[in-house]
Structure 1
Amino acid sequence: MPKLDTRTLLTQAIDVVNRSLSANRDHGLYGLLIRALDDHMEGRTWAVAVYDGTPDQREGKFGVRYEQNRFGVVDQVPDDDPWNASREYLQNLVDEPETYIEHPARMDLDWLTSRLPDSVAGLANFPNPLQ
């Protein structure tokens, strides 16, 4: 399979995250976390840097916005410190979408929970029985 360009890879990985959000919106602690997203993150944009190998091998920096219960890649890139996402992790999301849709605890949610109020951020910090 040919190597996807960085923006396409990020867009496809975010599609998997969105599908997982949709599938788990009404389920347990992840449902609460998703509703917190809706309440606290609507219209916000974050910087995401994609790297290959180590974080200093950056392939690109992108804006990701949460709007209408979905994440999307946008042209506006904030100046804030980015979440560093490895190409390997994003490719794994794209290659194994059902794993992450069925088991959202396998997703790296640190980038997200670090931006939520403390009262809800802890919801994602429970033990992952799948690891």
Structure 2
Amino acid sequence: MRAKDAVGRYGEEVAAAHLVRAGWEVVDRNWRGASGEIDIVALHGEELVVVEVKTRTGTGYGHPAEAVTPAKLARLRRLAGQWLAAHELRPRGVRIDVLAVLVRRGGTPSVEHLVGVV
């Protein structure tokens, strides 16, 4: 596994644990649809949340959340529809959140949760 892939996978583990500690229910991970992949699908109360996780080891290339472009958000909206079509779950609402994970060498990862990114 490439180092970049390992960092990304670690960030997804950190993000999922963060959501579970906050009382969320993680219902799917790394779900693949025709338009790409959803990192995490979770329930926050009665709302379905498609979670994009971006992980970096530093900010030399910007904050992790800066990697979520308008094109990526459009793809996540399509994927949310595909996920709902493939599952029987009918939530009250659907939104897209971004979890930005910053992993510093030898330190505890920090998680910034951006809610309802449009």
Q: TM-score, normalised by structure 1?
A: 0.28
| Higher percent of residues as strand | 2
Which protein is richer in helix relative to its size?
Answer: 1
Of structures 1 and 2, the one with the larger relative CO (CA 8 A, separation 6+) is 1
TM-score, scaled relative to structure 2: 0.30
